[in-house]
Amino acid sequence: RSSAEKFEFQAEVSRLMDILINSLYSNKDIFLRELISNASDALDKIRFLSLTDKEILGEGDNTKLEILIKLDKEKKILSIRDRGIGMMKEDLIKNLGTIAKSGTSAFVEKMQTGGDLNLIGQFGVGFYSVYLVADYVEVISKHNDDKQYVWESKADGAFAISEDVWNEPLGRGTEIRLHLRDEAQEYLDEFKLKELVKKYSEFINFPIQLWASKEVDVEVPADEEESGEEEEPTESSSSEDEETEEEDGEKKPKTKKIKETTYEWEVLNDMKAVWLRNPKEVTDEEYTKFYQSLAKDFSDEKPLAWSHFTAEGDVEFKAVLFVPPKAPHDLYESYYNTEKSNLKLYVRRVFISDEFDELLPKYLNFLKGLVDSDTLPLNVSREMLQQHSSLKTIKKKLIRKALDMIRKIAEEDPDESSDRDNKDVEKTDENDEKKGQYTKFWNEFGKSIKLGIVEDATNRNRLAKLLRFESTKSDGKLTSLDQYISRMKSGQKDIFYITGTSKEQLEKSPFLERLTKKNYEVIYFTDPVDEYLMQYLMDYEDKKFQNVSKEGLKLGKDSKIKSLKESFKELTNWWKDNLASENVDSVKISDRLDKTPCVVVTSKYGWSANMERIMQSQTL
Ligand code: ADP
Ligand code: MG
């Protein structure tokens, strides 16, 4: 097309497309759900805008918020169109080629190290999956504020955009035309498409319709149709037949029914809103599929847990929360830079936003889910909604439910029970499935719980219950504060812990000698975030925390210590005078050691040696 303007793909996007084009990945089906998901996003956007501006939907077919799929077997084209918001020329240039998202290079990297292509949607580059099945793609789009344009590319490093003077006007929305590769002709099969929509896009909230063929009976004149096809009895030999017909009281029919193929729109999904249903009637499989479509996580793993509930009272809402099986690639990378929450907000079943940070605190941003409120107003601006008073109540309830859900993962995990070595624990399929789930949770999201302890004073105790760590007595397994307390020696007042870079390093620490000898349990904290954590976690169940490398360690009474202090007074004074006094606060006789003659201890309010190390590594 001579009038076309040409553009080059941004370098990372180009690399991504090369990978997709040459991929030997067998599950090419995923392109369909990515396109449907984009269509659904575009419909959500126009519906949201229409809440405050009815005109925006236009009239006639334009008001139908739907997704339409057509197959052209002759031209080998699969097309998907939506009546969503559409794209202006600028949008086409930016969204489909020139601006790489943060996920683009992350995904390219993942692909080069054998990552799962199935997760493309999570990286925000789902559109390009069209090149798994097509070698030429056209995107025709019409936005209310611009003319209709065609974007096209053969994935050869460049794309072109032209004003559309060839196709029928879309009214509003986007049509994606895939010119299927020879080896992808299976996607011209209606059954295949119906199956795929069922499998991946069942929970899309707009009707997905296929221009489907249908065999219908049509009546045609009997004579016309039959002549020549069947041998008809001749007049002369038909006398007997006529007689029998008369006996039955039947006349020879004048018309005949034959099969003919016609086309009509067939709705492929039933748009059931899972969250509106009674939780008792939703199966585990349905929750899993709902999670997948919500989180764009189509890995084979089930979510670790979910909670589906209705809140009643002043503020009414329904919600479904999920703990994903795995942390996303950038969970802690983006933690400090963004306020991103992963809950979708609906008001009276209308999608409002998936970037509504007022619903959950930052440390819970690993959760996926949905909130649908009847209390929030529908036709106000987003800014007004963000200030609505009931959001505080919603947030409070969501946090409670989220923490309950996480606590339950632990409660139902047979590995977590204090007598986990008890062989009598009933062996059932369900126990099997829940086994080890909390460790899995902890390994993926433990850091979020720790950040929660730092950030959320109100729920600090609830979060502390969820904490797991290794200790001198945990035997290589994870243990909890409650389990620690249940093992405390009689007379032990404090919870002992030590911080450092690794368990192996800490095991050799002289600070542990005496404690271990006296059979006290000491917690190992080896994550850099633990140092911050312990500045906020002062006590638990009325027990104070004591860093064993810091001043203040008390281990029962030792009667000898007083006389020892007396007899070594001269030596300790000498030490103190001879060490530069800005380096050392005091020199004391102590009962904290066993074999090592002396150690350097940090003062109660000072940074531990480990914290010094962390601070140094951050400033260097
Ligand atoms: P994501 O959907 O995660 O943003 P995609 O690669 O699937 O990433 O899509 C890229 C962008 O292209 C979308 O964010 C959107 O702006 C635009 N887009 C894609 N499909 C459509 C569509 N059917 N209607 C409107 N915009 C679309
Ligand atoms: Mg997408």
CA proximity to 357, closest of 330, 325, 394, 407: 394
pLDDT at 237: 46
| Residues found in the chain | 620
Residue 210, pLDDT above cutoff 70:
yes
Helix (H, G, I), strand (E, B) or coil at 609: helix
What number does the ligand 1 atom closest to the CA of 173 have?
24
Q: Output the pLDDT for position 100.
A: 87
- 602 DSSP assignment: B
pLDDT recorded at residue 427? 65
pLDDT of residue 283: 94
Mean pLDDT of 246-269: 81
Give the model confidence (pLDDT) of 454-488 as tens digits: 999 999 999 999 999 999 999 889 999 999 999 99
Q: Is the beta carbon of 354 within 6 A of some atom in ligand 1?
A: no
Strand order in the sheet with 317-323: 305-311, 317-323, 368-373, 343-347, 350-353
Q: Enter the tokens of residue 205.
A: 């909230």
List the residue whose alpha carbon is closest to atom 1 of ligand 1: 124
The pLDDT confidence band at residue 620, using thresholds 50, 70 and 90, is very low
Closest ligand 1 atom to residue 38 Cα is 20
Q: Which of 118-122, 140-144, 350-354, 605-609 has the highest mean pLDDT?
A: 140-144
- Of the pLDDT bands very low, low, confident and very high (cuts 50, 70, 90), residue 533 is very high
Atom of ligand 1 nearest to the CA of 82: 23
User: Strand, coil or helix: what is 19?
Assistant: helix
Residue 601, pLDDT > 90, answer: no
At residue 241, the pLDDT reads 47
Q: Which atom number of ligand 1 is nearest to the Cα of residue 128?
A: 6
Contact 67, 47 (CB under 8 A): no
Rounded to 5 degrees, what angle do the CA atoms 49, 141, 56 make?
25
pLDDT score at 423: 52
Exposed/middle/buried for 557, CB within 10 Å: 0-12, 13-18, 19+?
A: exposed
Q: List the beta strands (DSSP E) in 428-561.
A: 470-471, 495-499, 522-525, 539-540, 543-547
Amino acid at 71: L
Give the confidence band of 267 by pLDDT, cuts at 50, 70, 90. very high
**Ligand number with the minimum distance to the CA of 130:** 1
A 10 A CB-CB count for 360 gives 22
- pLDDT band for 558, please (50, 70, 90 cuts): low
Please report the pLDDT score of residue 341 as a whole number: 75
The pLDDT score that the predictor gives to residue 611 is 77
What is the pLDDT at residue 335? Answer: 72
User: What are the angstrom distances between the C-alpha of 195 and each of 18, 358, 555, 571?
Assistant: 29, 38, 68, 85
pLDDT, tens digit, for every residue of 339-371? 677 899 998 888 888 888 889 999 999 999 999
CB 358 within 8 A of CB 386: yes
Judged by its nearest atom, the ligand closest to the C-alpha of residue 137 is: 1
Angle at 400 between CA 397 and CA 402, to 5 degrees: 105
Helix H or strand E encompassing 93 = helix 89-93
Residue 418, pLDDT score: 59
Q: How far is the CA of 95 from the centre of ligand 1 (A)?
A: 7
Strands 470-471 and 522-525 turn out to be: antiparallel
The two three-digit tokens of residue 227, written as one number: 């002549």
Query: Which among 78, 93, 126 is positioned nearest to 10, based on CA atoms?
Result: 93
- Residue-averaged pLDDT of the chain: 88
Cβ of 103 less than 6 Å from ligand 1: no
Token digits for 158? 């460049």
pLDDT-above-70 percentage for the chain: 91
Instruction: Give the pair of three-digit tokens for residue 66.
Output: 């739907």
The Cα–Cα gap between 481 and 461 comes to 11
Residue of 31, 38, 44, 170 to mutate, ligand 1, most atoms within 8 A of C-beta: 38
Ligand 1 atom 27 nearest Cα = 38
Q: Does the C-beta of 34 come closer than 6 Å to ligand 1? A: yes
What's the pLDDT at 425? 57
Split at pLDDT 50, 70, 90, the class of 270 is confident
Give the SS3 label for residue 320: strand
Query: Can you tell me the distance from the alpha carbon of 421 to that of 193, in angstroms, rounded to the nearest whole number?
Result: 50
Token pair recorded at residue 130: 């069209």
Work out the angle at residue 498's Cα, subtended by the Cα atoms of residues 495 and 501, and round it to the nearest 5 degrees.
Answer: 150
Residue 82 near ligand 1, beta carbon < 6 Å:
yes
The pair of structure tokens assigned to 23 is 């991929």
Residue 446 has pLDDT above 50, yes or no: yes
User: Residue 349 Cα, ligand 1 centroid: separation in angstroms?
Assistant: 22
Give the angle subtended at the CA of 459 by the CAs of 454 and 465, to the nearest 5°.
85
Of residues 274 and 232, more confidently modeled: 274
Q: How far apart are CA 350 and CA 373, in angstroms?
A: 10
Banded pLDDT at 248 (limits 50, 70, 90): low
Tell me the C-alpha distance between 205 and 478, whole Å.
Answer: 42
pLDDT tens track for 376-431: 888 777 788 888 889 999 999 999 999 999 999 999 998 887 555 555 556 677 77
Ligand 2 centre to CA of 34 (Å) is 5
Pairwise CA distance, residues 198 & 193, whole Å: 9
Distance of CA 289 to the CA centre of its chain: 12
Measured in angstroms, how far is the CA atom of residue 275 from the centroid of ligand 2? 23
Scanning the structure block, which residue is given the tokens 């860093």? 547
Nearest 5°: CA angle at 232, between 229 and 234? 150
Q: In this structure, which residue's CA is closest to atom 3 in ligand 1?
A: 124
Check pLDDT > 90 for residue 190. Answer: yes
Could you give the percent of the chain with pLDDT greater than 90? 59
* C-alpha span between 551 and 604 (Å, rounded): 5
Give the residue ranges of DSSP H helices in 412-459. Answer: 429-434, 437-455
For residue 419, the model assigns a pLDDT of: 54
Dist CA 187 CA 89 (whole Å): 29
Chain segment 490-513, per-residue pLDDT in tens: 889 999 999 998 999 999 888 898
Following DSSP, what letter does each residue of 32-66 receive, concatenated? HHHHHHHHHHHHHHHHHHHHH-GGGG-SGGGG---
Confidence at 79, pLDDT banded by 50, 70, 90:
very high
Q: Looking at residue 253, what is its pLDDT?
A: 74
Within 8 A by CB and 6+ apart from 27, the residues are 117, 118
- Within 13 Å, how many C-alpha atoms sit on residue 367's CB side? 27
Q: pTM value?
A: 0.78
With contact defined as beta carbons under 8 Å apart, do 41 and 126 qualify? no
Residue with tokens 């007004």: 384
Tens of pLDDT, residues 576-590: 787 766 677 778 887
